[in-house]
Amino acid sequence: MPNAKAFTDKPAKTNGVCDLCGLALRTERSEGAFTGRTFYFCCTGCRQVFSILLQAAGSTDPAAFRRSDLFRKCRESGLIPSSADDLPLPAPIPDNSAAQTSHPPRDGLMLALKVENMWCPACAWLIETALSQAPGVLSAACSFATDQLRVRYDPVATGPDRMIAVVRRFGYYVSLPGEARDQALQRREWTRFGISAFLTMNVMMLSFALYFGFFTDLPAESVASISWPMAVMAAAVMGYGGLPFF
């Protein structure tokens, strides 16, 4: 069995791809050291799956488990995406405007949660597995496509705070839909969208005017100087508007 050292989460310093699924590394990455070599992962879920596959292969060579049936089944099930195109598309989110908990007879309580910072299907698998093994949890279903987590639990044995703590231990943020943080996040994203859309429209209008020669009466130096504010606005859209995607 490979000698697995402790894992740490550190900011990514260089561009690269996940050593398990091949997706691009993001700002917050996970690292794992095996047999003296450090591997980089796009999320905590990929790190955990990599560790399980490496130990199941019984080899110190990470390439060994990629030829195993277990790795092939993970690929076929979508747990390990082959590329970004394999990531599931968002599905319609059910209306949770009613109370977030219900009390079906003999089946415990149902709790609906919103999970942030998931990066690939391995994250959803990790959350489901961890919660399913938690005391008092009857079932757990986490959707990477919708960021939704639904947990059925025994209220006598556990509670929402304990289950949220289990998920947050892996670096994910969990909240009830409609919480103050969730509303603040939506307002921030709408503000980001509005500013980016306004700057994009200005860049498009100036580009349209330059292309069709609306500034032919101006000196060449003045026309050339228009490119600078366009470049600044375009950079702002890429940097500020695209920040959540980097």
| Mean pLDDT, range 20-26, rounded to an integer | 73
CA distances from 28 to 12, 15, 93, 204, 241 (A): 6, 12, 27, 33, 19
Provide the mean pLDDT of the chain: 75
- Torsion sign across C-alpha atoms 210, 216, 218, 222: positive
Q: Looking at mean pLDDT, say which of 6-15, 101-110, 132-141 comes out highest.
A: 132-141
Query: What is the residue whose two structure tokens read 């489901």?
Result: 128
Q: Is the Cβ–Cβ distance between 46 and 71 less than 8 Å?
A: no
Residue 96 or 124, more confident = 124
| Mean pLDDT, range 28-32, rounded to an integer | 63
194 has a pLDDT exceeding 70? yes
Q: Give the pLDDT confidence of 61-94 residue by residue, as tens digits.
A: 667 777 777 777 777 766 677 665 555 544 454 4
Q: Give the pLDDT confidence of 213-234 residue by residue, as tens digits.
A: 787 777 878 877 888 888 899 9
CA torsion angle for 21, 88, 133, 152 (degrees, to 10)? 170
Q: Give the pLDDT confidence of 132-184 residue by residue, as tens digits.
A: 888 899 999 998 888 889 999 988 888 888 888 888 888 888 877 666 566 67
Q: 142 forms bridges with which residues in the sheet?
A: 149
In this predicted structure, what is the pLDDT of residue 56?
Answer: 74
In this predicted structure, what is the pLDDT of residue 76?
Answer: 72
In this predicted structure, what is the pLDDT of residue 245?
Answer: 67
CA distance 119 to 103: 32
When mean pLDDT is compared across 21-25, 110-114, 171-175, the lowest value belongs to: 21-25
